[in-house]
C-alpha cells in the first residue's frame, strides 16, 4: 500500500471508465450505464418525464454509481499496479550489456548484447554480466543470481548435466565460462518474466470464465425483472422513477464480486511471484489449488544431484586419522562436487590433516581411462582416489595387497545405494569414501505437510530399486518408481490423470521436459535446463522443488478467496433487498412496510443507504481480495462449513448493520 502505488491506481481507475474497457466486465458496465442515465436525468429531467424535485436525488444516485465503478476499477488497478512494480524491479536487471562474442576463428569481438542471436557463443569472465539466456558449454563458475531470484548466495554453474543453464542479467563472480546463447532478443526468460508479471498475457481461467458467465446470467435475469417491473406497478396505479429502478438493479446484481473478481485473479498470480515463482498463466495457479498428486524427479529435485561424501570407512588395520590424512591430500585440489564434499565432511567430523605434505606436489586430474585422481607428492609418494576396482589394480601393480574386508565393505555401500571410492597411498588402500546423492534438508517435513493436504507424492528416478528405496525412505515420499525413463514419467502422469486427478510435476533436466509439459502444473527449477523451463507452466527462481507446497497453498487460497467473496456478495444482497424493495412500494402499498425490518427512516434514505453500502463495501474488501483468505489444510466439508459460517452469515449480518448505520447518518442530514 505504497503512496505511489495507490496514486497510480486512482489515476488508472478514471482511465478504465472508457466504455471499451468497461464492457469487458459486464456487471460494472451496466453500473456505468446506470451512472450515465441518472446523470442525464439530473440535468435534463424532462427528457425522461422526471420531476424537477428529484434532480438532487438523481444526481446523488449518479455520484454513488460513479464511485461504485471507480472503486471496482481501483481494486483491479491496484492489483495490476503491484504486478507493474514487480516488473519494474525486474527491468532494472535487464540492462544493455557488452558481450564478448567468440568468432569462428577464435577471436573475441566486443558487441552489444542486443545484437546476440541464438547459437552465438560468448565468453563471460569474473565480474561480468551474462548477456543473455544460455547454456554453459565450457568451464565452471560461481554465478550471482540475486537480481533474478533475490537470493544473495551465489550458485555454482558448470558445463554438462542439468546445472548448465544461465539467465541473462546475472553476474559471474568467479572463474570464466563459455556460454551458448539459447534465445533471440526480446525472448529471454527475463523478458517473459516482465511480460507475465505486468499481466499483459493474463487470461481468465476456466473457473473464472464460468463464474463470470453465471454472474452475467444473473445480471441479465435481474435486468429483465427490473425492465418489466413498471408494467406491474402501472397496473397497481403508481409509477417508479427511473433512478429508483436503476438503484434496484444495481442492488440486485452481484456488483461486489463483479468488482473484485479480476483483482482476485491478478492478485493470485502476484502472490505466486512474491514466492519467487513465475506462473505462465492464471490457469496454472488455479489448477495448483486442486492438485491430487505430485510427481518429483529425484536428481537435483529431492536430492542435491551431485554425489556427496557422507561417511569415511577405514579398511584393514588402518586408523581413521591416517585414512583421513590421505583422503584430504587426494582431495585438496579436486574441484569437483565430490572432492569439495570430502573436505567439508572432514571438517564436519573434526578430522584434522596436514596440508603442508602436499606442498610441491602435482595434482593428477581424473581421467576416464584411469578412473582415478590424486596427488604425486614431492617426496615421491603417490596418493590416489577413485573407483574401487581401478584403485585395486593400481595398488597390485605397485606390489601391494588388498585389505581382506575391502570387498565386503564395498558391497555394503553399493547395496545401500551409495558409490564407494577407494583411497590409496603407494601400495596400501587405507579405506573407502561413501558417496551418496544426499537428500536436501527439510524434505521429509515438507512431504509430511503435503500429505496432510491430501496430496500424494511420487518420486521418479533412474536409480536401481535398492538405491531408489533408500532415497524414498529418507525423503519420506509416498511412492517411488525406480529405473524410470522419460516416457515412464509421462505414463505415470497420464495414469493419474485418467483417474480424474490433477497432477503436478517438478523437475530440472531436459529429460523432465516431456513430463513437465504433460502435467497440469509443471514447475521447473530455474537452475535447470532451458528445455525444462520452456516445457513448464511455472518456473521456481529459487530452484526449491518443495516450493510446490506454497504454489498449492496459493492455488487453494485463490479458489477459497473467490468462493468466499462470491458467497459474501450474494449473501449481502439479502439485506439490500430488505432495504430497497419496501422503500419502493411502501408509499403505494402501506402493507409493504412490514418488510422494513431495519426500520429505515424514509424511502429516499433507504435507497441511498443501500446504494452507498453497495459502493463502499468494494474498497473495504480490497485488502482481503489482494491478500487472500487464509488457507489451513482441512476437509472439503469443514472448509464449506467454515466458508458459509464466516462469509455467508457475515454477508447477511454486515449489510444490515452497515445500511442501518448509513441510514441514521442520512436521516440527520436529510
pLDDT tens-digit readout, 112-153: 877 888 888 999 988 888 888 888 888 888 887 765 655 555
Q: In the chain, what percentage of residues exceed pLDDT 90?
A: 9
Q: How many CB atoms lie within 10 A of CB 259?
A: 32
491 vs 184, which has greater pLDDT?
Answer: 491
152 vs 155, which has greater pLDDT?
Answer: 155
Per-residue pLDDT, 201: 44
Q: What is the DSSP letter of 509?
A: S
For strand 134-144 and strand 177-181, is the pairing parallel, antiparallel, or unpaired?
Answer: antiparallel
* pLDDT beyond 60 at 307: yes
Q: Which of 6-15, 151-160, 495-504, 660-669 has the lowest mean pLDDT?
A: 151-160
d(CA 299, CA 527): 12
184 vs 398, which has greater pLDDT?
Answer: 398
For strand 165-166 and strand 456-460, is the pairing parallel, antiparallel, or unpaired?
Answer: unpaired
CA-based end-to-end distance of the chain: 36
User: Which long-range contacts does 153-161 make (Cβ < 8 Å, 24+ apart)?
Assistant: 155/527, 155/543, 156/337, 157/527, 161/305
List the strands of the sheet with 372-376, edge to edge.
303-314, 428-439, 419-425, 382-387, 372-376, 362-364
Phi, psi for residue 428 in degrees, rounded to 5: -130, 135
- Establish whether 334 is a catalytic residue: no
pLDDT band at 384 (very low <50, low <70, confident <90, very high): very high
> For residue 314, what is its C-alpha cell?
577405514
d(CA 650, CA 579): 17
Per-residue pLDDT, 462: 73
Is the Cβ–Cβ distance between 203 and 280 less than 8 Å?
Answer: no
Per-residue pLDDT, 242: 82
d(CA 643, CA 177): 55
Secondary structure in 3-state letters for 496-528: HHHCCCCEEEEECCHHHHHHHHHCCEEEEECCC
Per-residue pLDDT, 163: 66
d(CA 670, CA 661): 14
pLDDT band at 282 (very low <50, low <70, confident <90, very high): low
> For residue 515, what is its C-alpha cell?
513430463
- Residue whose cell numbers read 509443471: 522
Mean pLDDT over 482-503 rounds to: 85
Per-residue pLDDT, 288: 83
Phi, psi for residue 108 in degrees, rounded to 5: -105, 130
* pLDDT beyond 80 at 596: no
* pLDDT beyond 70 at 536: yes
d(CA 117, CA 182): 8
* pLDDT beyond 90 at 91: no
The total number of residues shown for the chain amounts to 670
Mean pLDDT over 183-201 rounds to: 61
Is the Cβ–Cβ distance between 111 and 121 less than 8 Å?
Answer: no
d(CA 560, CA 583): 35
Instruction: Tell me the pTM.
Output: 0.63
Task: List pLDDT tens digits, range 202-255.
Answer: 456 667 777 778 888 888 888 898 888 888 877 777 777 788 888 888 888 888
Q: Which of 69-78, 360-369, 381-390, 392-401 has the lowest mean pLDDT?
A: 360-369
d(CA 320, CA 326): 10
Q: Which of 25-29, 204-208, 380-384 has the lowest mean pLDDT?
A: 204-208
Nearest in space to 247 (alpha carbons), one of 569, 612, 636? 612
Average pLDDT, the chain: 81
Is the Cβ–Cβ distance between 494 and 282 less than 8 Å?
Answer: no
* pLDDT beyond 70 at 426: yes
Nearest in space to 271 (alpha carbons), one of 639, 621, 625? 625
Q: Three-class SS of residue 627?
A: helix
The number of C-alpha atoms within 13 Å of 2 and in the hemisphere containing its C-beta is 7
45 Cβ contact partners less than 8 Å away, ≥ 6 residues apart: 51, 52, 54, 55, 58
Mean pLDDT over 555-562 rounds to: 83
453 Cβ contact partners less than 8 Å away, ≥ 6 residues apart: 549, 552, 553, 633
Per-residue pLDDT, 200: 41
d(CA 365, CA 235): 100
- Residue whose cell numbers read 589394480: 393
Q: How many CB atoms lie within 10 A of CB 89?
A: 13
User: Which long-range contacts does 298-301 make (Cβ < 8 Å, 24+ apart)?
Assistant: 298/437, 298/459, 298/460, 298/461, 298/463, 298/468, 298/471, 299/162, 299/437, 299/461, 299/462, 299/509, 300/162, 300/163, 300/508, 300/509, 300/525, 300/527, 300/528, 301/506, 301/507, 301/508, 301/525, 301/545
Nearest in space to 540 (alpha carbons), one of 524, 519, 518? 524
Per-residue pLDDT, 562: 84
d(CA 273, CA 540): 9
Per-residue pLDDT, 633: 67
Residue 241 to residues 119, 247, 248, 483: CA-CA distances in angstroms?
71, 10, 11, 76
Mean pLDDT over 6-26 rounds to: 87
105 Cβ contact partners less than 8 Å away, ≥ 6 residues apart: none
Mean pLDDT over 603-618 rounds to: 86
Question: For residue 175, is it left (φ>0), alpha (ψ between -120 and 50) or beta?
Answer: left
Among 120, 144, 297, 540, the one annotated catalytic: 297
d(CA 411, CA 548): 37
Q: Three-class SS of residue 436?
A: strand
Amino acid at each position: 500500500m505504497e503512496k505511489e502505488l495507490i496514486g497510480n491506481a486512482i489515476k488508472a481507475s478514471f482511465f478504465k471508465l472508457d466504455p471499451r474497457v468497461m464492457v469487458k466486465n459486464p456487471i460494472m458496465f451496466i453500473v456505468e450505464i446506470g451512472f450515465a442515465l441518472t446523470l442525464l436525468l439530473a440535468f435534463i429531467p424532462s427528457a425522461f418525464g422526471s420531476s424537477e424535485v428529484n434532480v438532487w436525488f438523481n444526481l446523488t444516485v449518479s455520484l454513488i454509481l460513479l464511485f461504485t465503478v471507480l472503486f471496482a476499477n481501483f481494486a483491479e488497478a491496484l492489483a495490476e499496479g503491484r504486478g507493474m512494480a514487480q516488473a519494474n524491479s525486474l527491468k532494472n536487471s535487464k540492462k544493455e550489456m557488452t558481450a564478448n562474442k567468440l568468432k569462428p576463428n577464435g577471436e573475441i569481438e566486443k558487441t552489444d548484447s542486443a545484437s546476440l542471436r541464438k547459437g552465438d557463443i560468448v565468453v563471460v569472465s569474473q565480474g561480468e554480466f551474462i548477456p543473455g539466456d544460455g547454456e554453459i558449454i565450457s568451464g565452471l563458475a560461481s554465478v550471482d543470481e540475486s537480481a533474478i531470484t533475490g537470493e544473495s548466495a551465489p550458485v555454482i554453474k558448470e558445463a554438462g548435466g542439468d546445472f548448465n543453464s544461465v539467465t541473462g542479467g546475472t553476474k559471474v563472480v568467479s572463474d570464466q565460462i563459455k556460454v551458448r546463447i539459447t534465445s533471440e532478443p526480446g525472448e529471454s526468460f527475463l523478458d517473459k518474466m516482465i511480460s507475465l508479471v505486468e499481466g499483459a498475457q493474463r487470461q481468465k481461467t476456466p473457473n473464472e470464465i464460468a463464474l463470470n458467465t453465471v454472474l452475467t446470467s444473473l445480471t441479465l435475469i435481474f435486468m429483465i425483472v427490473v425492465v418489466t417491473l413498471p408494467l406491474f406497478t402501472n397496473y397497481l396505479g403508481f409509477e417508479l422513477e427511473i433512478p429508483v429502478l436503476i438503484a434496484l438493479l444495481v442492488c440486485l446484481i452481484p456488483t461486489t464480486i463483479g468488482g473484485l473478481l479480476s483483482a482476485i485473479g491478478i492478485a493470485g498470480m502476484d502472490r505466486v511471484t512474491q514466492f519467487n515463482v513465475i506462473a505462465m498463466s492464471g490457469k496454472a495457479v488455479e489448477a495448483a489449488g486442486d492438485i491430487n498428486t505430485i510427481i518429483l524427479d529425484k536428481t537435483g529435485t529431492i536430492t542435491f544431484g551431485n554425489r556427496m561424501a557422507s561417511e569415511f570407512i577405514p579398511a584393514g588395520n588402518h586408523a581413521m586419522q591416517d585414512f583421513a590424512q590421505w583422503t584430504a591430500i587426494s582431495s585438496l585440489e579436486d574441484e569437483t562436487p565430490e572432492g569439495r564434499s570430502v573436505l567439508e565432511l572432514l571438517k564436519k567430523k573434526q578430522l584434522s590433516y596436514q596440508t603442508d605434505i602436499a606442498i610441491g606436489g602435482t595434482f593428477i586430474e581424473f581421467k576416464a581411462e584411469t578412473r582415478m585422481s590424486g596427488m604425486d607428492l614431492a617426496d615421491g609418494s603417490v596418493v590416489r582416489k577413485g573407483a574401487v576396482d581401478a584403485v585395486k589394480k593400481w595398488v597390485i601393480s605397485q606390489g601391494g595387497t588388498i585389505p581382506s574386508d575391502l570387498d565386503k565393505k564395498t558391497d555394503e555401500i553399493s547395496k545401500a545405494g551409495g558409490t564407494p571410492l577407494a583411497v590409496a597411498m603407494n601400495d596400501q588402500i587405507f579405506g573407502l569414501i561413501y558417496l551418496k546423492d544426499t537428500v536436501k534438508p527439510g524434505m521429509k517435513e515438507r512431504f509430511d505437510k503435503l500429505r496432510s493436504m491430501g496430496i500424494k507424492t511420487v518420486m521418479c528416478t533412474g536409480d536401481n530399486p535398492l538405491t531408489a528405496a533408500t532415497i524414498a525412505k529418507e525423503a519420506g515420499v509416498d511412492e517411488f518408481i525406480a529405473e524410470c525413463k522419460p516416457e515412464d514419467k509421462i505414463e505415470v502422469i497420464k495414469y493419474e490423470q485418467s483417474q480424474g486427478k490433477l497432477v503436478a510435476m517438478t523437475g530440472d533436466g531436459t529429460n523432465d521436459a516431456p513430463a513437465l509439459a504433460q502435467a497440469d502444473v509443471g514447475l521447473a527449477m530455474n537452475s535447470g535446463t532451458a528445455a525444462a523451463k520452456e516445457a513448464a507452466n511455472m518456473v521456481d527462481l529459487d530452484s526449491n522443488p518443495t516450493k510446490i507446497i506454497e504454489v498449492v497453498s496459493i492455488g487453494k487460497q485463490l479458489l477459497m478467496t473467490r468462493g468466499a467473496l462470491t458467497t459474501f456478495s450474494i449473501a449481502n444482497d439479502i439485506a439490500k433487498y430488505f432495504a430497497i424493495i419496501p422503500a419502493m412500494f411502501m408509499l403505494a402499498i402501506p402493507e409493504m412496510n412490514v418488510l422494513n425490518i431495519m426500520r429505515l427512516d424514509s424511502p429516499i434514505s433507504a435507497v441511498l443507504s443501500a446504494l452507498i453500502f453497495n459502493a463502499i463495501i468494494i474498497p473495504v474488501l480490497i485488502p482481503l481480495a489482494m491478500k487472500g483468505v487464509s488457507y489451513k489444510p482441512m476437509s472439503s466439508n469443514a472448509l464449506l462449513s467454515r466458508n458459509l459460517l464466516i462469509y455467508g452469515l457475515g454477508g447477511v449480518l454486515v449489510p444490515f448493520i452497515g445500511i442501518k448505520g448509513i441510514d441514521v447518518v442520512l436521516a440527520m442530514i436529510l
